Amino acid sequence: MAEYIAANWLEMLGLISGLLCVWLMIKENVLTFPIGLVYAVITVVVVGRASLYADVILNLYYVVMNAYGWYFWLYGGTHRRRHDAQHELQVGWVPVRLWPVIAAVGIGGTLCMGWYFASYTNAALPYPDSFTTVASFVAMWMSARKYLESWILWFVIDVVQVWLYLVKGIEFYAILYLVYLGMAVAGWLAWRRHLVTSPAT
């Protein structure tokens, strides 16, 4: 066991930082974003070694979105801020007008990215990998905007990722995403209690 851990220490570090990141997200703690930056950088290396190129792109995007989420939770969403000393950003719904755009990005992005990686690279499992990548683009944006529906999408993504990482033999990340399934449920329940009932912004 010690030899396995020594050979896979980077995956373990990713597992730990990933769990901490999601736990802080459930708690609505803005420190989720700097921890998320660390997790994203580690994951770029791990999935790059496994030839999961769509996941490499995804985690580079996570670096940018963690920075954006950090800013938005501190200063954005004026209409969803508490009117007290804390002045924290509250949870909201995704605006209805954005759902057709989200669906188009999800379906179109998965098909286009999957076709590209299947046709022009040696990527493993290009379509499932592309689905989790594109869906995670959307879910991360939702999380950065503090929208409740992000947890539903994360749950679906986690199911696919568990299977994907088991197939590729990345056991620590498969365990991580299995735990994420439960955390997605916990996140939904926790955020639902703090939901703003007025239209999302």
**What pLDDT is attached to residue 73?**
94
Q: Is the pLDDT of residue 52 over 80?
A: no
What is the pLDDT confidence band of residue 199, given thresholds at 50, 70 and 90? very low
Q: What is the pLDDT of residues 121-178, one digit of tens each?
A: 888 889 998 999 899 999 999 999 999 999 999 999 999 999 988 988 888 778 878 9
- H helix and E strand count, the chain: 8, 0
Could you tell me the CA-to-CA distances from 151 to 23, 163, 170, 193 in Å, in that order?
13, 19, 24, 14
Amino acid at 169: G
Q: What is the pLDDT of residues 166-192, one digit of tens each?
A: 988 888 778 878 988 999 999 999 999
**What pLDDT is attached to residue 44?**
87
Alpha carbon of residue 32 to chain centroid: 12
| Mean pLDDT for all residues in the chain | 87
